[in-house]
Amino acid sequence: MRYPLLREGAGRCSASGVRGQSASMTRTKSLPVVMPRVAGQRWACHACAYCCRELVVSLSAEDRERIDRGGWRERLGVEPYVRLGRKWVLNKTPDGACVFLDPENRCRLHAEFGEEAKPLDCRRYPFTFRPVGGTWRVGLRFDCPSMARSQGEPIRQSVSWLRALAPIAPPEKKMCGEDRARLPGGRRAQPEEIDVLVDRFLRWIGREDVPIRRRMIGAARMTGTLAAARFKKVRGSRFRELLDLLFGVIEREAEKDPRPPAPRQKAMLRQFVFAHAESVSFHEMRRGLGFRLARRFRQLTDARRFRQGRGIVPPLPGATGSTSFETVERVRFPKDDTLVDDLCRRYLTVRLESRTVFGSGFHGWPVVAGLGALWLTVAAAGWLARWHAACAGRDLCISHDFVAAMGRIDAAATHLPAAGSSAERLRVSYLQEDDGIARLISVYGPPG
């Protein structure tokens, strides 16, 4: 958690000024920091404490040493950190809050020693770092409510402290490696080919003269066209020429109304939602083997109910009420919801700009599968937003429903290993057939 008073640099970390920092923490190569170019994207911490309650924060040896030197075990009266699997993580109170969160939603570590005293995972949230092409490419996390709502200062104002933090905040290992995804036919794309492909989709997603739903339908159909193409002999300038030819007709393709999605396509979307929205709490992770086996059995049962789509929706995080699958289907989005439309545009732009769509940035997936999953996440967020509204007894979504849903889906998409499983990849591949993703977007996507 960060405080607005510190947004101008007071208390910010630096590569050489971190409390208790060992020499090993500064050995990461200093690279240029590349922020995603997203028109209108803002952020500042508003002390909502979402991250302090929802995230499981991993600790490095240096993090644990700083906590131990502060005598926090005695001061808190509980263990400040515990073992979770093979990692050490910050402990949580019975209600799920970090043990360092005080009643005023302030971090005790931050309040007493400054932001430098907090674990690295806390300090870099809601940003991510990934080495790409000799740079630190920064990503944004939309499970942060302020990021999703674009509240605060332009994100470019965060570059200076991100530049200082990047060398000591190593990226997630699963998102490192060669950033060259495979094109249809199995050929690895060259960096310049990826640049051209991403640029073409960014231009299309940024077309404000086209309704956002039409932009997404066009993007989904273009991805389907790419899936059928063969790029074995199409390289360099010919690759660019082919994309220019294909994107030359994307607007015409976007104007065609898709057919209603088939029951099986709807079922697969619900399964996609369940895989991204269902989660295990911190305290559940620490329970014994018997509980974990029972929890796994319940997950399988709930997954089957999501596939069937009848009766009461199994409980999901984020809402206290309950509703039926049939009620969810009757909920609608209001027309001209500018926040929802803008959130979709910013989210898709960030994912493309930060290269967390395919390759090492997205579970090692090929280009076409990763793009398909990207468009499908917005349809999934639309279904989940309807569920939020239905649980609250409303038949019309409000922007808060979509913000919460988009955050839940995004938190899983690039950080949950299950979201990159072979089962999810097969599901996306199936939905790319028969205009499936476009058909789902036409029903569950943003109304604009």
For residue 14, pLDDT over 90 is answered with no
pLDDT of residue 29: 56
Say what percent of the chain tops pLDDT 90: 70
pLDDT of 184 above 90:
no
Going by pLDDT thresholds of 50, 70 and 90, the confidence category of residue 187 is confident
The reported pLDDT for the residue numbered 272 is 97
Predicted TM-score of the model (pTM) = 0.89
Question: Which contacts of 72-79 are long-range, i.e. CB under 8 A and separated by 24 or more positions?
Answer: 72/100, 76/100
Cβ neighbors of 263 (< 8 A, separation 6 or more) are none
Q: What is the rounded average pLDDT of the residues 149-169?
A: 87
Q: How far apart are CA 192 and CA 112, in angstroms?
A: 48
Residue owning tokens 């329970």: 287
> What pLDDT, on the 0 to 100 scale, is given for residue 64?
96
Q: 239-264: per-residue pLDDT in tens?
A: 999 999 999 999 999 999 999 999 99
Return the closest-CA partner of residue 355 out of 159, 186, 177: 177
* pLDDT on residue 25: 37
Question: Parallel, antiparallel, or unpaired: how do β-strands 127-132 and 135-140 relate?
Answer: antiparallel
Cross-strand bridge partners of residue 139: 128
**Would you state the pLDDT for residue 172?**
57
**Among 183, 173, 218, 182, CA closest to 200:** 218
Q: If we measure between CA atoms, which residue out of 356, 403, 361, 360 comes closest to residue 378?
A: 403
Which residue did the predictor score with more confidence, 136 or 169?
A: 136
Q: β-strand 33-34 against 135-140: which pairing, if any?
A: parallel
* CB-count burial class (<10 Å; 0-12, 13-18, 19+) for 93: middle
β-strand partners of 43: 153
How confident is residue 179, by pLDDT bands cut at 50, 70 and 90? low
Give the chain's radius of gyration (CA, Å).
Answer: 22
Residue 186 CB contacts under 8 Å (≥ 6 apart), including other chains? none
Distance CA 147, CA 155 (A): 9
Torsion angle of C-alpha atoms 422, 205, 190, 369, degrees rounded to 10:
10
Quickly state the pLDDT bin for 170 (edges 50, 70, 90): low
C-alpha span between 16 and 19 (Å, rounded): 9
| pLDDT value at residue 166 | 77
Q: How many Å apart are CA 134 and CA 1, to the nearest integer?
A: 29
pLDDT, averaged across the chain: 88
Give CA–CA dist 280/301, Å, rounded.
15
Q: In the numeric block, which tokens belong to residue 413? A: 């998409």
How far lies 358's CA from each of 182, 301, 303, in Å?
9, 31, 26
How far from 208 is each of 200, 204, 354, CA to CA, in Å?
Answer: 15, 9, 21
Residue 11's pLDDT band, with cuts at 50, 70 and 90, is: very low
Supply the pLDDT for residue 314.
Answer: 96
pLDDT at 26: 39
pLDDT of residue 219: 98
CA distance 127 to 164: 13
| CA 120 – CA 99 distance, rounded (Å) | 17
| Adjacent-strand bridge partners of 83 | 88
> Residue 386 — pLDDT band, cuts 50, 70, 90?
very high
Please report the pLDDT score of residue 158 as a whole number.
92
Tokens describing residue 28: 């990461």
Quick one: tokens of 284? Answer: 């559940």
Residue 18 confidence (pLDDT) above 60: no
pLDDT band at 178 (very low <50, low <70, confident <90, very high): low
Residue 318: its pLDDT value, please? 83
Instruction: Indicate if the pLDDT at residue 130 is higher than 90.
Output: no
Tell me the two tokens of residue 112. Answer: 């007493």
Average pLDDT over residues 347-362: 95
CA-CA distance, 204 to 219, in Å (whole number)?
Answer: 8
DSSP SS3 for 127? strand
SS3 call for 140: strand
Residue (of 189, 241, 218) closest to 355 by Cα position: 189
User: Number of helices and strands (H, E) in the chain?
Assistant: 20, 7
Residue 302: pLDDT over 90: yes
Q: What percent of the chain has pLDDT over 70?
A: 90
Other CB atoms within 10 Å distance of the CB of residue 363? 24
Each residue's pLDDT tens digit, 277-295: 998 888 888 888 888 889 8
| Alpha-carbon dihedral sign for residues 192, 194, 195, 200 | positive
Q: Which residues make beta-bridge pairs with 129?
A: 138
Region of 3 (left: φ > 0; alpha: ψ -120 to 50; beta: rest) is beta
User: Left if phi > 0, otherwise alpha if psi is -120 to 50, otherwise beta: which for 89?
Assistant: beta
**How confident is the model at residue 173, as a pLDDT?**
53
Q: pLDDT at position 60, please? A: 92
State pLDDT tens for residues 388-441. Answer: 999 999 999 999 999 999 999 999 998 888 899 999 999 999 999 999 999 999
H-helix or E-strand spanning residue 89: strand 87-90
Average the pLDDT over 104-126 and give the result: 93
